[in-house]
Amino acid sequence: MSTWVFLRGLTREARHWGDFPATFRAAFASELGVGDILTPDLPGNGRRFAESSPLRVEEMMEACRRELREQGRPPPYHLLAFSLGAMVAVAWARRYPEECRVAVLLNTSLRPHSPFHQRLRPGAWPALLRLLFASGLARERAILELTCARAEELAALLPQWSIYASDCPVSRANALRQLLAATRFTALEKPAVPVLILSGMQDRMVDPRCSRQLARTWSCAYARHPDAGHDLPLDAGVWVAREVRDWLEKGAADKSWFVQESATNPTVADKGGVQSLEVARAE
């Protein structure tokens, strides 16, 4: 039985995963039970909202490691992480590869692989500034519109998100600290574990080219969804779960797998309207 650890992004908490853990379990049939997916909060978010968010991604990672051990859930783990959470996953897999079976990274960006204007798109800057001064339903609506391509369809989530924000309010200081930690984090070399990178081509916050460039540099598996935005689990949760399942079934744990993609002519397979880069076995 595998233990999966799901890590969310900037100012978000475990409850923002919504139905995705159930969707993910369903993709793996009887292989995963309810207790096999753990959703710890980063310091400063969710149940840990009263804590100060660390200024370094590595410290966020250590805080999550301690929490899981204190809960009696030791490694190894399969990591699935989104945005800032994906940076935490990279830090984890680089520092403690023996604790991580695989790392699935959703819509993330890393120094030095992409320039700052791609890692945080200029069009997102005004929205992020507004979020620092907004509150309640208005703030949650702005987050949904920035991170989800299906914002109108998902608007029914907003009342519940407002309750989460009231229960566990993320301070303006912690939001800024998390943003600073994300902009400072650097990971030059690929972790010594199998990595799958997924991205949404309609991401308004992080340029999808960041994921593609990282996959090319690290020679790891990569797939992209043409219609999903930044919050891939909300916009395309079934697709994410299926991609992870298929990747594992094809032999993700075999480190000779790599992405076949040239700088000018990527090899692409069309899977039901979704563009996925082919993964091939190295000679």
pLDDT in tens, 99-114: 999 999 999 888 777 7
In this structure, what token pair is assigned to residue 224? 């992209």
Compute the distance between CA of residue 95 and CA of residue 59 in angstroms, rounded to an integer: 12
Sign of CA dihedral 113, 99, 177, 104: positive
Could you identify the residue written with the tokens 């593609």?
Answer: 212
State the pLDDT at residue 135: 74
In this structure, what token pair is assigned to residue 177? 């600290």
* Mean pLDDT score, 114-141: 76
Sheet (strand 100-106) strand order: 37-38, 4-7, 77-82, 100-106, 195-200, 221-225, 274-277, 268-271
State the pLDDT at residue 1: 55
**Nearest alpha carbon to residue 2 among 54, 39, 38, 50:** 38
% of the chain exceeding 90 in pLDDT: 60
Strand ranges (E), the chain = 4-7, 37-38, 77-82, 100-106, 195-200, 221-225, 257-259, 268-271, 274-277, 279-281
Q: Which domains does the chain have, with CATH numbers?
A: 4-281 (3.40.50.1820)
Burial of 134 (0-12, 13-18, 19+ CB in 10 A): middle
Question: What are the tens digits of pLDDT across the range 151-182?
Answer: 888 899 999 999 999 999 999 999 999 999 99
In this structure, what token pair is assigned to residue 57? 């991604």
Phi-psi bin for 191: left (phi > 0), alpha (psi -120 to 50), beta?
beta
Q: Torsion angle, CA of 244/78/167/19, rounded to 10 degrees?
A: 30
